[in-house]
Amino acid sequence: MPTCAVLSFRLGLTDGVSIVADSWIGALRDLGFDILTVAGEGPVDRLLGDLAIGRWPDGRAGVDGPEAATPAEIDALEREVRETLIDADIVVVENLGTIPMNLPAARAVARARAGRPTIWHHHDPAWQRDRYADVDELPRDDPAWRHVTINDLTRAQLRARGIAAVTIRNGFDPAQMVGDRGRERDRLGFDTEELVLAHPVRAIERKGVPTALALAAALDATYWLTGPAEEGYGPELGRLLDRARADGLRVRHEPAHSLGDLYAASDVIAFPSVWEGFGNPPVEAALARRPAAVGAYPVATELRDLGFRWFDPTDPDTLARWLRDPDHGLLDHNLAVARTHCSPEAVAAALRGLLDEAGWAP
């Protein structure tokens, strides 16, 4: 049986890339591959710490200081990656060669995979983030490689840069959306009739925490933020949550016991992001039959074109009316759209087509 290695900064955790990578791993197993996981962090088969986010500054001299990884260190990492992947027939690189959160690792992995069957799975390239706007060396290309994006916007942007790619939208297993509402609400101290608005994100600026807080206040709901602060957003988040509590808003900042429990325990999902490469929570909410208030980021428009119907997070009155008299037809509709366009079966079929085209199918 052929082996497919899946490699990234981190795998097996709760971030969006890890969740999507897990769905690919399931599809690749079903297609006939043994799986080898390799990452800088997480419960993986082979741990290479030099791949992790934060292992080195990102390597942009004059921006974040001088490059901390010497040429000799990058050479050594290239050799380590090549040796680690020596028994892999193909490799899937999840976002590590896309966003420059560890440029030395991206350079080493690209060199190690030169001329070798590799799928580069692109979630959010550098030019889509202001902080990386000056980085133009990723993604790299090679005739032996294939490129996959999670949305049509990024695919078109890659094409404009001379890189051909296919779009495979993120897929979600409905079974993962099943949770225990009573147990999770008891654990968190939510009352039976308490309206809970969940904001299932890492707390960073683009996730729209102030908008989600305002929506919770307008709905007289408890605001439940499930992810940690990252990218230096901790102090600002602390100020926002302290101010909200002082104004009388009920606030919980705590992870869910599981993904299914998160959606089971919540009543409405807030996702007022201004930018996302995809945006998993609105689709997860559809599978869990929960209404979602979703921001107008560009890829959300692409997803709405598939048929999803979401509320405007800046229009609490419309959502409040729906919550008072829920239209279950809306939930049925969103569930059907998610099952049609964002299912494990859709991912598997698209991967099978890609592997057949490349001559890599088992």
Q: Where are the domains of the chain?
A: 3-171+343-358, 174-341
- The region, left, alpha or beta by phi > 0 then psi within -120 to 50, assigned to residue 231 is left
pLDDT digits (tens, 9 = 90+) for 171-193: 998 988 999 999 999 999 999 99
Residue 60 reports pLDDT greater than 70:
no
Asked, colleague to colleague, whether 3-171+343-358 and 174-341 share their fold, the answer is yes
Residue with tokens 């968190």: 188
Instruction: Decide: 202 and 280 in contact? Cβ < 8 Å.
Output: no
Tokens of 343: 């299912």
Distances (CA, A) of 301 to 122, 204, 223, 310, 345: 19, 21, 25, 11, 23
What pTM was computed for the model? 0.86
Tokens of 43: 């419960």
Residue 65 reports pLDDT greater than 90:
no
Residue 67 has a pLDDT of: 53
Report how far residue 284's alpha carbon sits from residue 166's, in angstroms, rounded to the nearest whole number: 23
pLDDT digits (tens, 9 = 90+) for 241-273: 999 999 999 999 999 999 999 999 999 999 999
Percentage of the chain modeled with pLDDT above 70: 97
**What value does the mean pLDDT take over residues 196-217?**
97
Residue 57 has a pLDDT of: 63
Report how far residue 333's alpha carbon sits from residue 172's, in angstroms, rounded to the nearest whole number: 16
Could you tell me which CATH class the domain 174-341 is placed in? Answer: alpha beta
Q: Sort 82 into a burial class: Cβ within 10 Å, 0-12 / 13-18 / 19+.
A: middle
pLDDT digits (tens, 9 = 90+) for 103-135: 999 999 999 999 999 999 999 999 998 888 888
Report how far residue 226's alpha carbon sits from residue 2's, in angstroms, rounded to the nearest whole number: 38
Report how far residue 330's alpha carbon sits from residue 343's, in angstroms, rounded to the nearest whole number: 19
Residue 132 has a pLDDT of: 86
Could you tell me which CATH class the domain 3-171+343-358 is placed in? Answer: alpha beta
How big is the CA angle at 115 (ends 3 and 34), to the nearest 5 degrees?
5
